[in-house]
Amino acid sequence: MQCQGILKRFGAAFLFIFVLPQISDGQSVDAIGMVQRMQGHVSIVHSGNSVAALDHMAFSLNDRLVTGADARLQIMLTDDSQITLGENSEAVITQYQFTPSVSGMKGVLVVEVSKGAFLLTTGRISQLSDKRIEVKTALAGLATTGAEFWAGPTGGDLEGVAVFEGSVEVSNKGGAVALSAKGVTQPRVHPQTQGLGLRSRSSTDPIGTTLTRGQGPSQAVIWPQEKTDRAVDSITFDSEVARNSKSKIGSSAAP
């Protein structure tokens, strides 16, 4: 089993190397992460050039990640932070630094999500003593020291932010609100395929806020299950939907 795990890691590393030149000859030096999983049409815009994304493809700072209709994209950064984008999304990592072996142990992660839904699960960067983790959306700025949280459109011109684990401060010109995950209930964000090396998601009942253009964030409330399920569905892969449906059918058919 251990040998198989090593082979899988080396296999991913070799694919990482061979796919890399499709973006840029010199990008390997600047790569900050790689495509971990995808479905549908996904593209990476590097230095103004758009290419179709591939599994294990590397990307650099300021590369624009774009998903099409019904598409999904999951990326992993070098500190193991994961970002999952839903359909019709656009995101750019504008600042990234992870130097645990350097004096000061500084970490910086700044992401701009101009449209669409996403789920961010912070990795080892949250363990550093000096860190700054921020996400900028169309309607607010989100700041955390380590968390798992979702943000995206919730209907009409509204945007929502839901925190499953940790805490996030949501702010804009209209005000600010602190969201802190609390009571653990049933799983809401389903575990992804373990064979891909993805971590299990939290099972925290999310605390969320609603954002309206021109207004400050609403007060923090526990999101109802229906609203949470819609948010989770927006970043869930079709293969997970099918797998979960089969599990439900099997459970109902059991004597």
pLDDT tens, residue by residue, 107-162 = 999 999 999 999 999 999 999 989 999 999 999 999 999 999 999 999 989 999 99
Q: In the numeric block, which tokens belong to residue 105?
A: 């142990």
Q: Give the strand pairing for 58-60 and 49-52.
A: unpaired
Q: Hey, which residues does 204 pair with through a beta bridge? A: 184
Verdict on whether the full-model pTM lies above 0.85: no
Q: Where are the domains of the chain?
A: 71-245
Amino acid identity of residue 167, one-letter, is S
Q: Which residue bears the tokens 């600010």?
A: 176
Identify the residue whose tokens are 């009942």: 205
Instruction: Give, as one character, the DSSP assignment of residue 40.
Output: S
Tell me the pLDDT tens digit for each residue of 213-232. Answer: 999 999 999 999 999 999 99
Long-range CB contacts (within 8 A, 24+) of 43-50: 43/68
CATH class of 71-245: mainly beta
